[in-house]
Structure 1
């Protein structure tokens, strides 16, 4: 399991952590009411896929029609920044320590995995959202969906 980084994290590492967090997030609709990550991950994936094309289309359209280049460049930069904002938020969220309410849920899910015979590495440092995601993903894979009802 990953631990909370010591010191400050570079902006590039935050984007990498955001991508890792986005990939690790379980795509379970039952988590949507509890966590905003479900919506942020979907919006970020959409933005990564389509916003570069929107930016190129905007620039091409304005150049072809002889329009003003300034607003077109601003729109293209804005379109490209949307998925980056999502990755930044996810990266920051992944290294955020869990609040007390989620900390108890984290330990309960870990306990259920231990009771199911799964060996888990001991928690090092303060549990983060990245650790929670890894535990939830493993729980969805190995346990039945009823474990969420108890939380």
Structure 2
């Protein structure tokens, strides 16, 4: 299934905003680190790109304009790479072990009365993110901590 770059970027942005960055999840999912790094890169890399390219142009002169632009584009590409990774990851189907864990969490949350999306037969990481976000926002800390110990 081929997707456009813009679709992946949009999916990555949505996934980044949905994924709950919680201490309990850091050991199990790389998303927490990627989301944190991408959010930091979105804030810091554009100004750093301008400063790096501007300083290179100022110090080395117009002869190094292509290199200065390349440095600036490299800095700008870092948050884009994070969003692309997140977009790709959000569209991947959960592996079998994670799928059964997702279904167990979904059933327990439904038993507690949480409003959830319908359980899918082939859930993707975006459904897991949505379920975990609901779990951390609606359920108390004692209930969610049982899943991560």
Q: Give the TM-score normalised by the residue count of structure 2.
A: 0.89
CA distance in 2, matches of 1:74, 1:25: 32
CA RMSD, Structure 1 to Structure 2 (Å):
1.5
Q: Is the 8 A contact 2:116 2:131 kept in 1?
A: no
1:1-151 matches, cutoff 5 A: 7-67=1-61, 68-146=64-142, 147-150=144-147
What are structure 1's unaligned runs of at least 5 residues? 1-6
Any idea what SS the aligned residue of 1:150 has?
A: helix
Q: Which has the higher contact order (CA 8 A, sep 6+)?
A: 1
State the shift of 1:125 in Å. Answer: 4.8
- More helix as a share of residues: 2
What are structure 2's unaligned runs of at least 5 residues? none
- Which region of structure 1 is more displaced relative to structure 2, 124-133 or 12-21? 124-133
Q: Give the TM-score normalised by the residue count of structure 1.
A: 0.88
- Which region of structure 1 is more displaced relative to structure 2, 42-51 or 61-70? 61-70
